[in-house]
Structure 1
Amino acid sequence: MYHLLNLPRFIVVLVIFVTLNSCQKNTEVRPVFENRLLKIDSISYADPKKAIKGIDSLIAGTEDMNMAENALALFYKGEDYYKNDQYFDAIQVHKRTYELFNQLGDQYNKGRCLITLSAAHIHLKDYEIAQEYVLEALHIAQLIQNTRLEAKANNQLFRLHYILKDYKKALGYIQKSDSLFIGSVDTTSVIAVKGNIATIYVQLKDYNRALKYFSEALALSQNSKDARTVVSLLNNIGYTYIEAGDYESAEKFLRGSVKLNKSINTINASPYKGLGNLYLLLKETDAAKRNYQEALKIYELKENHKEVIEIRDKLISIYIILGDYHKALAEQVARDSIQKMVNIKEKEQLLSFANVKYEVKEQASELIHQKQINRTNRLLFVSAIVSLVLLLIALGFFFYNMRLRSAHKASELEQRLLRAQMNPHFIFNTLAAIQNITLEGNPIKSSNYIAKFSKLIRQNFDYVRKEKIGLNKEMEMIINYIETQKLRFNDKFSYTIDIAPEIDSHKIMVPPMLLQPFVENSIEYGLKHKEGKGNLNVQVSKESRSLKFVIEDDGVGRSVMARQIKISEDLHATDIFKERLKRRGKGEEKSFEIEDLFDSSGVPAGTRVIFKLQVL
């Protein structure tokens, strides 16, 4: 009887014991599981994609995985996404792991998640969000008195302020991190901190201190026999010596980096890039070209598009200097193709991130609607929603088709505009003029015009795809274009740019490349054929709520040129210009007029173009 009465109590105790035991196991990571994770993580730096697949296989193959193990596996997966530059995926995974570690009460790993979230948002240029995450991580670190986590948070704050070019604050944070690592056995982190301090001093142009910290980091990495870190530091020291103007020392360290890379069978493009920069400064163009080409092969292999674009820019300049304009043009085409691909990829990533945010908000909205449905007539509500959705879908298809037609028309207009702006005769004549200056033995003048011409080409390709740019950028491009034309015609004309003082050109936005066709007409069909030196004047003034543009020259005039050659309106992009104004829907095309100018004797004395934009 006694045993029967105590049986329920025994069952209750047993249930409590089993529950507590299962809860305890739910917060513990089994050593076998952790060892398998660490083994997968060991390959993450070399091949993060393979590491992600390994973690997914581990999660799928572990049937009795508890919450702590799931959180840790997801944490490593988020880290691998970050290492593979998949920042949107890293953010989503780490938000989930943050919640899991929060439920487990694991403050340390919460802080680690926050630091990676901050780093990912820095890459996406969401600096305010990045700062919020890292400050929360710093608070957690100080709360649990974890020196390592606090040092990493300070290091992240250094990165943020370094990117924002607030070098004094960045130096303060990294020095704080350095003080927290004093006496630490974590040599890898100490080396990284010292390298970051050196980087700050490079930016502050205090090269002696920069080299001091790089040398300390190098000594530590050599003691730890970390060859990859040694390579990176040798490369950084080489770059610092370039900045300091000690080219002999720079070459020594960069070649040492290349040699060590080969000895450990590692592919690294940075030393070749550094040597390319060095030889370009020394005007050893062939050596610079060889090293840049080596760097380009590696960056293309690693799909580092940002560096590929930078290296191709350098090769374009070298080929122009060498007079190999066909290769320069080929490099420019390849460079622009990669830039276009990068822009598309960035847009797709932004769209993906926006969709994820939308899905999260949509889920929350559905929960609210569900409660409302329970209080009202469900059938009527659902019918109304279905009707609305169908209407929205119909409207969506309608507007989508309209946008497609508009985008197609805009694309055609963009291509026509670019063809009109980048006249092949102008390009090759300018290159020939630059070549003549080079042959005359004036490298400084030649280099200046190469820079202007390269910038002009870049501006044409960049601005043609934009709907609006600042008035200051439009005028900069016009000045660059006129200067390039002056080179072609050996200063046959002078020019003035007159912007009314009450106009803030940095704040006013205008459609890009509106002025260039008319400036080109003034030069090609007016000033070019004038006997003696001519004048070109561009005026921008404020008139009511509009900007008034006037392009005037004192050339031979349209009437004279009409007798010599047939001037096609299409050739000079006038019809493109009018169409662009019409697409703005403000009636600005009505303000466009061309005046023929005559002197007191009735002889043609130039041309004046006038139009207005409603941008104020």
Structure 2
Amino acid sequence: MLAGTVRSWATPGDSAVYKRIDSLNEKAVRWVRFDKWGMPMDTSNCYAVEALRESRKIGYTHGIAQALACQAFVMNMHANDFPRAEQLARESLEWYDQTDDKKGITLAHYVLGFALFAQSRFDEALRHYDLAIAYANRSGAKLEAIYMLTLEGEAYRERGDYEKAFDILRHAARWAETIHVPDVAKKQYLSLAGLFIQIEDYSTAERYFHLGLGGKGPGQTDYWDLMVYAELLTRQHKFDSALYYYGKFDSAHLAPTILRSYLVSKGEYYLYRSEYATALPYLLKSLAYQRQMNDRNQMMRCLQDISRTYYGLHRDADAFRYAREGLQIAIQTDARQNIRDGCQQLYLLHDREGRTDSAYAYYRRYIVLKDSVLNDQTKGKFASYDYEQQIKLQNKEKQLLEVCLREEMLTKNLLILGIFVLLLLSLVYVWIIRLKRRNEAHRRKRAEDELEIQRLEGERSKAALQQRAKELEVQALRSQMNPHFIFNCLNAINRFILGHETEAASDYLTKFSRLMRMIMNHSRHSTITLADEIEVLQLYLDMERLRFKDAFDYRIDVEEDLDTEDIRIPPLLIQPFVENAVWHGLMHKEERGFLSIRMRLKDGALTCIIRDNGIGRKQAGLLKSKSAEKHKSMGLQITAERMALLTGSGEMQHFFQIDDLYEDTGLPAGTQVTLTIKIDQLAEEPVKPIS
């Protein structure tokens, strides 16, 4: 059909001319796609003009139609002359109607739809987008159909129909995922991000924005995506981050199609910061570009922004002028969210001028439109929630498939885990050797410190010498307590390994390493926060419960108004008493035991009550070995000495009291230890280790 139409206009000798015209049009299309984001338009336009001239000369219908469509595309993307683009696209369609080129007709409808969309003629634009999608489907052009569907969703978004926009963009995203072309799917994610910005769901917008970037940073993508991301940060009041991305634009070398959008975007950044005088030049210059190109969507945006800027500068006459013009265009285009914003701005201006009747009239219109737009936003949010739930369901299905693969690798993982545990045990063994050497170094250092104390006695006052001795002795006492934890923990790990309980061994070893790290960090300070001490207790008790097969439960209760981050106590002060309760009270209990730790603050003293329902001190004394008794005595003695040194008290046991508990029948019911720590007698800040 096309060949017959062409040859009826031309002579048989013109076949070489057809090929030349087709080649010129192909080059125009290639250059217009290459230049679409800001390169000079001269090259593609020159090819299209030459193709049109030669096509008209010989009456080549297809060549005329394609050349006109290319010129319209240039007017849209580069010159931003949307009325001229509309004229060229309509003429192109008239010529394409004489051909059967469905792809060409798709292009012409797309270009015409875009030109109408830019002029805020949404209904006409949507009609041509629908036709473009239909022709693309007939010709099997899935990529083009998805792209047109995306533009249709963005048109509904600009018109304020958020629910419809979301349905279309979601459909486009799903369709894009089926054709396995990553860049197409990423484009849909970016469009969804723009929609989430409109419904003010900024966290979800940011997530979809990063999905659309496909692992690239915002600075590694094109200018449009970079600008949208900066606007998203601005709306979240992350001004420093937004300014960083705006700084990547070289405004002196931007093409007009990008510059006009950059100017309004940067102006809104300063408007959000209430820097009105700085925002105004950007917005006025952008408006001049929008008027020249008749981009009514951006004109409404600029007019509203300029009115708000003048309102902030208290130049109400100028604010009125721009607000009225913006509202007039919004009413003409039926862009409800812009009508709402225009009514709100005029209500504020009339109210400030004292025109109560006019202010009330605009306020009523604003409230009605606000509820209408808010309803659309709510529908959009519900639709987005449904989409999110469907994505979660798909992820769960993927996870079920992954479980099957994990089961196949379970044996291999267990073997790797065993090797890993052995390696960790080797590292722990090496660490213990180093710790022993460190303790020896501590002992040598203690001797050196004692010599230093003797030397200082002749140079400093008696009070300063005593304080120095306290710090040195506290450090020495603290260094004696670390091995007690280490060897108990290693015994537990060894028992798990011998019992082939690799998972329990791994769990226990993780807690052990965390506890050791905390103890080493705490050893650098003479006091730590009560919160840190509680965390150590929880780690220790969790390890003991794991070690004794959940033979007991525990609870730590802290008085509500007790600030655990503000109170400081010596490290490992409460732990020895908790350990005695577990080992000598609960360990020999046949049924499940319970340990309670309660803390409260009264009259400048921290009271800690440690209560267990174990077998009691008397029965424990009959069962425990001499070595255990000796260790208990040593642990309590060291703790008492530490408190005596830190508080300056001569008594070592005045801060704790041990009471035996009995049932009504006279049988032992456990033990209760009450610790009373005078907070005001301890240093408020940690003392630095002596070098």
Q: Same fold (TM over 0.5)?
A: no
Q: Which has the larger radius of gyration?
A: 2
If asked which structure has higher relative contact order (CA below 8 Å, sep 6+), I would say: 2
Please give the TM-score of this superposition, normalised by the length of structure 2: 0.34
Please give the TM-score of this superposition, normalised by the length of structure 1: 0.38
